[in-house]
Structure 1
Amino acid sequence: MNAFELVDLSLHTEELGRFRVPLREGTASAPVTLPEGTVINVGLTFRLGREIDGLTLEETRVRDGTVVSTARTVLGGFRTGGPYEVRLPAERLPVGRAHCGEYEVTSRFTDGTGRELVTLRHRLRLVHQPAPDPGRDPAPAS
């Protein structure tokens, strides 16, 4: 077993459920499509071949060749074994047509010494969510 094995990477939403992100090192696979403004939690499931202190996830989002955000989250120390399941704090995806489009996301896991354990890439597509029509009753009359 490797020092770090990512078993699952998922995006969790209250409204739309769970979106499993295909795990592929190197090139990104087909994008996960979500409406703008969706509140997501990133869920991670992993196993460890050795004890790791200071496990860290650094996630970088790039759109049209420009880095639009970088987030670094220290996950903590873990003993050999697993699987461990971690859910990151909720995050609201950007809102507005200017933010819609495709993002390449690079997820890099390191240990407490900064040694890279694994780097994965996936794509996220934000789509415009039209506002509800204020003149329309969302619930049918009974």
Structure 2
Amino acid sequence: MSEHSVASVADAATTVPTHEGRTVRLLGLALQFPGREDIFVPVPPKGATPAPFTLKEGTECRAVVRFHVDGPSVTGLKVIDVRSMSGVEIGGREVMLGDFRRGGPYELALPPERVPSGPRARGIYDVYAALIDAEGRVLDRHDYRFEVKRDWEKPVR
């Protein structure tokens, strides 16, 4: 994704308020890793600060977005995410999902990505994911946090 695209993705999500009569509800996100259990990212209550979860640097990850269309059909639906670390925006992406009619829940897997790696990539990332319609209206938004570490956390026993 080019720097210009990332800026436009960030601008779209930060300058356009969530559509009041929203017709799409983001139900949650899941992160899939080869050979590991999925990580489910619940949608926290409005205003709550989500607790970060751990991701191992350099691993391949596929996000799965779940949503429901409550109102009339929605056209040109896309999902964006914008990532920042220590208050500095460092990237994001925009994926076209398509047109959807009332109903669901719909569950779509996004193209896989690799978790950043190296000492400078380790730390806590703040992310927001938004569902946006063809007119650029933010229909729903979900904030979450993750921490990139050298290895997966050991389970507490």
TM-score of Structure 1 vs Structure 2, range by shorter chain: 0.7 to 0.9
2:145 and 2:103 map into 1 onto residues whose CA distance is 29
1:90-115 CA distance string (max 9 Å, x none): 10111111100000001111111111
The alpha-carbon deviation at position 5 of structure 1 amounts to 1.4
1:4 alignment counterpart: 24
Amino acid at match of 2:146: L
Select the residue among 19, 28, 34 that pairs with 2:55. Answer: 34
SS at match of 2:135: coil
The 8 Å contact of residues 47 and 83 in structure 1, kept in 2 or not, is answered as yes
2:74 and 2:142 map into 1 onto residues whose CA distance is 19
Number of aligned residue pairs: 130
1:116 and 1:66 map into 2 onto residues whose CA distance is 22
SS at match of 1:17: coil
Structure 2: segments with no counterpart, 5+ residues:
1-20, 153-157
2:36 alignment counterpart: 16
The alpha-carbon deviation at position 8 of structure 1 amounts to 2.3
Larger Rg: 1
Amino acid at match of 1:103: Y
Point out the more displaced range, 74-83 or 7-16.
7-16
Amino acid at match of 1:9: L
2:120 alignment counterpart: 98
The 8 Å contact of residues 30 and 39 in structure 2, kept in 1 or not, is answered as yes
Amino acid at match of 1:69: G
Length-normalised TM-score, structure 1: 0.85
User: In structure 2, do the counterparts of structure 1 residues 35 and 128 end up closer, same or farther at CA, with 3 Å as the change threshold?
Assistant: same
The 8 Å contact of residues 26 and 141 in structure 2, kept in 1 or not, is answered as no
Amino acid at match of 1:76: G
SS at match of 1:98: helix
What percentage of residue pairs aligned between the two structures are identical? 32
1:30 and 1:43 map into 2 onto residues whose CA distance is 19
Length-normalised TM-score, structure 2: 0.77
2:59 and 2:48 map into 1 onto residues whose CA distance is 25
Q: Determine which structure has the larger helix proportion and give its number.
A: 2
Structure 1: segments with no counterpart, 5+ residues:
131-142
Q: Determine which structure has the larger strand proportion and give its number.
A: 1
1:64 and 1:128 map into 2 onto residues whose CA distance is 18
1:28 and 1:69 map into 2 onto residues whose CA distance is 21
Q: What RMSD over aligned residues (CA atoms) do the two structures have, in Å?
A: 1.7
